[in-house]
Structure 1
Amino acid sequence: MKSNLKIKSLLYIGLLSIVFSCTSQSKKEKAAEDLTGNKPNIIYILADDLGYADLSVYGQQKINTPNIDMLATRGMLFTQHYAGAPVCAPSRSSLMSGQHTGKTSIRSNSKAPNVEEGQPPMSGETVTVAEVLKQAGYVTGAFGKWGLGYIGSEGDPNNQGFDEFFGYNCQTQAHRFYPTHLWNNREKYFLEGNDWKNTVTYSADVIHEKALGFIEKNKDKPFFMYYPSTLPHAELLVPNDEIFKAQKEKFGAEVPYKGKNGNDKGLDYGEDLEVKGYTTQANPHATFAAMVIRLDKHVGEVVAKLKELGIEENTLIVFSSDNGPHAEGGADPEFFNSNGIFKGIKRDLYEGGIREPMIVQWPKMVKAGSTSDHISAFWDVLPTVAEIVNIDAPTESQGISFLPALLGKQQKEHEYLYWEFHEKKGRQAVRAGNWKGVRLQMSKNPNALIELYDLSKDPGEENNIAEEYPEIVAKLSDFMKEAHVKNDRYKFDYEKDK
């Protein structure tokens, strides 16, 4: 496996490893075994399109999320954590691979050609979080939305380190909450009563029950459960239960969502349904709130299951979201102030599109009620879990373990974080310390102007100060060139003729 780090970076890392080797090893030994003498179970819960401020613990005023808030009360809340990308597939690829979007093998949302359902596969050479943990003796399971390779491909979750997978293989199918089927490993699992006309079995609830079953089944051995929930992604739709009824009463009469262009043809369940679309919704605000509350309920039930089985004290739980809030299917991030003080939503490389909530609960290891302003990203998760289980992280990872931050120890920082996005005419972004650079419309022009923001003074990215600091802009441009590695599948326009 190749490393593209520069020689000076290798020398720097080598010096650090010599200076800190003894300390690092002692931390690994301490962290790899909890107070019971066993490796901790690890649960990573990933919300779908949940904004930074969609949780009450992060400032949400219209929706209460007591169970997720309780994770923060009993653990650590991160204020400067970032997704891998501003949309689903590349963000999840970054999470699984420990690589940013300049290097990870999936860099945009797309459908695999000549396949009924599923996305282009993650490279078979990729070493995933699940594979690292299997090497350490963990049972591994994934429950929810995959989107990193169609069934049977090298990106199939069963080929990427997961012993068990249940949910949506295809993220396009996951636009619908009442599909005909989900996948149980490589076999279709049909949902009772669902036929694209009738909405009987709510997929998120079935996935949740399977996730709880995995915990129950593996309570006596170390396990890793990746739980990429489909909530609260569009379509906006929930069962007509007490959760929804309470929110419907709370929000009252609403302006209905009638489809992308105000035309509901082909969107609603029925003879003319188009899977890729979103159903109409008479109560979009109430429905979105109910979806977030349902997600919170599911998180609470995961914790309750751990308590019931007597394994909560030996379980590390991470909660985050894959990208910024969406404005699709009737969702209204402005109404809910879903991105808080930040500019941008899903598909933006401004803070609102990529800065995410992250909460970590690890009893007796992570200080209850603590907060961290450590700057971290999805590609840090793999080296973090590798350090927890005392296994070397793959050399291809650009991540830095944030285990020291979790344990209240001195934390190594990134020189920079990098993102690229292959839609919207091409976008790049870099964060280095408090400096944030954003380059738009660069697919045809890799030297397009860079906007510059000082996040310590301007977290909302309102004042572009690029003209005042040309030397900083030049440095961020160098980082962008260094971080982007050409990929034959994902080319910017300026690369296609080369």
Structure 2
Amino acid sequence: MRLLLLLAAIVLTLPAADRPNVIHILADDLGWADLGCYGQKTIRTPVLDRLAAEGLRLTQHYAGSTVCGPSRCALLTGLHTGHCRIRGNGALLEKPDPNEVLLPTLLNAAGYRTAMIGKSGVYCSDEALTLPNDSGFQHFFGYLSHRAAHHPFPPFLVRNGTKLEYPNNKLHDGDHDAHALIIDEALNWITANKGAPFYLHLSVTIPHASLYAPEADKAPYRGLVEEPTEVREQKHYRTEKEPKATFAGMVSRLDGDVGRVVALLKQLGIERNTVVIFTSDNGACDEGGHKEADFKSSGPLRGVKRDMYEGGVRSPLIAWWPGTIAPGRTSDHISAGWDFVPTICELTGAKAPANIDGISMVPTLTGKGEQAKHSHLYWEFYEQGGKRAVRVGDFKAIQLGLDKSLDGPIEVYDLSKDLGETTNIAAANAEIVAKAKELFAASRTPSPMWKWKSEK
């Protein structure tokens, strides 16, 4: 305890300019190529394109997982899915692990004000109303579970343990649009905390499979896109008769709301002391009313959400920090969602935990110092028969069918020559296959909650 207090005292004496605010905007199911600055040709994203031009764009950043739950766990713990507690989606856990230290707790000790607004990234339970606060966030507003966040008009949201009920909301329609409420809450919280260093985890719920956009956002795409002649009625997600215009409108709406956040920072005069990071939680969605092929959301990448191929795990990353991040920079540094804990800790003066998988990206962000590199990246997944993947340098190894056997065939791709993962070169690269087997075993700590069927 004395050491913790000493560390807190040290960071509290740092000048404000050395302790920037951090806003991490996390999109939901946004594909690698859904933004103009990543090659999108139809959907308009002028704000994010401008932030990329004024800051840094990473081309080889990866989400923590191919679905949202474990991806968000990796982001907040600094651990990849071979080590973190949540390794899949669903009704997961209702209380924090006492042995697990999340990013907000580290930042609280460093004197930061912390908030998570939007979809909760800590465990998953609609009944555990204080779970986000119990997990370290001083302020929370939004959805408690991933499944509830599928509905743009929920019957309730939660603010700091209290249910806020919207009796006229009927999941798919109503009079309280959750995304609008989330953005307004974020803007109000930033304004209220402008005088102290803060960390805002702004986890929006769009663009997801449940399609909804206000008329003003989807109208510009009518006539620009050709809608399907028949629309399949959705049972869980919202049915939308203009799915293409609506999805495009959702992405453009998000872009505009990022613009509102940036405009507020400038209005408050804190933009030069605030780093804004924009990423997605996993690859492009191909479910509900949206099809990846509608806008080529994965671009040249193979696969979508739930795949171990690049389209399932590669994510856009834009970082904007006027006066610190030089404009117009692009980096091919290989990074992943579990890098945010050590990165944000270094930026804020907080102490990162030992024995995490993440590596600080601060040298890449600032352009100063030598950037450490990963020996490899690792993912594992428990749906669709079980799968795992490892990236070592330019090579990517993928193993499917783990529910049947852990000794099945391994695919190998050379991403420097085959970004679309079209040619499996495993037969000609026995040494890479052997290395992948070694890393699959070494990168994983067994979990009593997560087992492939072949392990049970």
TM bucket, shorter chain: over 0.9
Structure 1 residue 195: Cα displacement: 3.9
TM-score (norm 1): 0.86
Match of 1:250 among 221, 224, 230: 224
Match of 1:431 among 383, 387, 391: 391
Other-structure match for 2:17: 37
TM-score (norm 2): 0.93
* Bigger mean CA offset, 345-354 vs 248-257: 248-257
SS at match of 2:333: coil
Does residue 454 of structure 1 match 2:414? yes
* Cα distance in 1 for residues equivalent to 2:230 and 2:376: 43
- Residue type of the alignment partner of 2:401: Q
Match of 1:140 among 102, 114, 126: 114
Match of 1:363 among 322, 334, 342: 322
Structure 1 residue 186: Cα displacement: 1.2
Other-structure match for 2:359: 400
- Residue type of the alignment partner of 1:47: A
For residues 146-181 of structure 1, what are the alpha-carbon distances to aligned partners after superposition, in whole Å with 9 as ceiling and x for unaligned? 152326759921122100110100111111101111
Other-structure match for 1:170: 145
CA contact (8 A) 2:94 2:131 kept: no
Equivalent pairs, count: 444
Query: What are the within-5 Å matches in structure 2 for residues 317-328 of structure 1?
Result: 317-328=276-287
- Residue type of the alignment partner of 1:282: K
- Residue type of the alignment partner of 2:416: S
For residues 349-396 of structure 1, what are the alpha-carbon distances to aligned partners after superposition, in whole Å with 9 as ceiling and x for unaligned? 100000000011112211111011000000010011111123331113
CA contact (8 A) 2:25 2:203 kept: yes
Structure 1 residue 431: Cα displacement: 0.3
CA contact (8 A) 2:226 2:244 kept: no
* Cα distance in 2 for residues equivalent to 1:444 and 1:73: 47
Q: Which runs of 5+ in 1 are unaligned?
A: 1-28, 113-118, 268-276
Does residue 472 of structure 1 match 2:432? yes
Does residue 88 of structure 1 match 2:48? no
* Cα distance in 2 for residues equivalent to 1:97 and 1:256: 44
CA contact (8 A) 2:70 2:87 kept: yes
CA contact (8 A) 1:256 1:283 kept: no
Other-structure match for 2:58: 78
Q: RMSD of the alignment, in Å?
A: 2.0
SS at match of 2:17: coil
Other-structure match for 1:285: 244
Seen in structure 2, the aligned counterparts of structure 1 residues 253 and 415 have a Cα distance that, compared at 3 Å, is closer
SS at match of 1:425: coil
SS at match of 1:250: coil
CA contact (8 A) 2:324 2:366 kept: yes
Seen in structure 2, the aligned counterparts of structure 1 residues 250 and 124 have a Cα distance that, compared at 3 Å, is farther
SS at match of 2:311: helix
* Cα distance in 1 for residues equivalent to 2:227 and 2:172: 26
Other-structure match for 2:441: 481
Other-structure match for 1:11: none
CA contact (8 A) 1:93 1:122 kept: no
Seen in structure 2, the aligned counterparts of structure 1 residues 331 and 121 have a Cα distance that, compared at 3 Å, is farther
* Cα distance in 2 for residues equivalent to 1:376 and 1:196: 36
Other-structure match for 2:4: none
Match of 1:191 among 148, 166, 176: 166
Query: What are the within-5 Å matches in structure 2 for residues 42-441 of structure 1?
Result: 42-112=22-92, 121=95, 123-147=97-121, 148-150=123-125, 156-191=131-166, 193-196=168-171, 198-239=173-214, 241-251=215-225, 253-259=227-233, 267=235, 277-408=236-367, 409-441=369-401
* Cα distance in 1 for residues equivalent to 2:129 and 2:165: 24
CA contact (8 A) 2:21 2:199 kept: yes
CA contact (8 A) 2:152 2:172 kept: no
For residues 28-61 of structure 1, what are the alpha-carbon distances to aligned partners after superposition, in whole Å with 9 as ceiling and x for unaligned? x99x968x63510000000000000000010000
Seen in structure 2, the aligned counterparts of structure 1 residues 120 and 493 have a Cα distance that, compared at 3 Å, is farther
SS at match of 1:224: strand
* Cα distance in 2 for residues equivalent to 1:403 and 1:155: 33
Seen in structure 2, the aligned counterparts of structure 1 residues 319 and 50 have a Cα distance that, compared at 3 Å, is same
- Residue type of the alignment partner of 2:89: N
For residues 305-332 of structure 1, what are the alpha-carbon distances to aligned partners after superposition, in whole Å with 9 as ceiling and x for unaligned? 1011110110011000000111112102
For residues 170-210 of structure 1, what are the alpha-carbon distances to aligned partners after superposition, in whole Å with 9 as ceiling and x for unaligned? 11111110111111121111236314485222110001100
SS at match of 1:71: helix
CA contact (8 A) 1:101 1:418 kept: yes
* Cα distance in 2 for residues equivalent to 1:315 and 1:33: 16
Q: Which runs of 5+ in 2 are unaligned?
A: 1-9
* Cα distance in 1 for residues equivalent to 2:172 and 2:85: 37
CA contact (8 A) 1:79 1:373 kept: yes
CA contact (8 A) 1:382 1:393 kept: yes
